[in-house]
Amino acid sequence: MYVAGRENNSQGRSVAKLWKNGEVQSLTDGSMSAAATSVYVLNNDVYVAGWEGSTQGIVAKYWKNGVVQENISTRSINAWSTSIFVSESDVYATVLSYDSSPIMIAKFWQNGVLHNLSDGTLWTRPNSIYVKGNDVYVAGVGYNTQKTMVAKLWKNGVVQYLTDGSANAVANCVFVK
pLDDT for res 98: 81
Give the mean pLDDT of the chain: 93
- Enumerate the β-bridge partners of residue 136: 131
Per-residue pLDDT tens digits for 138-151: 999 999 999 999 99
Domain ranges of the chain: 2-122
Question: How far apart (Å, rounded) are the C-alpha atoms in residues 32 and 154?
Answer: 33
Q: What is the pLDDT of residue 138?
A: 98
CB 41, CB 3: distance < 8 Å: no
- So what's the pLDDT on residue 117? 96
Count H helices, E strands: the chain? Answer: 0, 15
Q: Which of 13-22, 91-100, 132-141 has the lowest mean pLDDT?
A: 91-100
Band of residue 168 on the pLDDT scale cut at 50, 70, 90: very high
User: Residue 21 pLDDT more than 90?
Assistant: yes
pTM for the structure as a whole: 0.93
User: Residue 166 region, left (φ>0) first, then alpha (ψ -120 to 50), else beta?
Assistant: alpha
pLDDT digits (tens, 9 = 90+) for 90-118: 999 999 988 767 788 999 999 989 999 99
Examine the pLDDT at 75 and tell me if it is beyond 80.
no
- Of residues 125 and 77, more confidently modeled: 125
DSSP label at residue 145: T
pLDDT band, very low/low/confident/very high, at 127 (cuts 50, 70, 90): very high
Per-residue pLDDT tens digits for 45-60: 999 999 999 888 889 9
Q: Which pLDDT band holds residue 173 (cuts at 50, 70, 90)? A: very high
Nearest residue to 176 (alpha-carbon basis) of 155, 150, 152: 155
Whether 167 has a pLDDT exceeding 70, the answer reads yes
The helix/strand/coil state of 22 is coil
For residues 102 and 105, what is the distance between their CA atoms, to the nearest angstrom?
A: 9
C-alpha–C-alpha distance, residues 43 and 161, integer Å: 35
Distance CA 6, CA 17 (A): 5
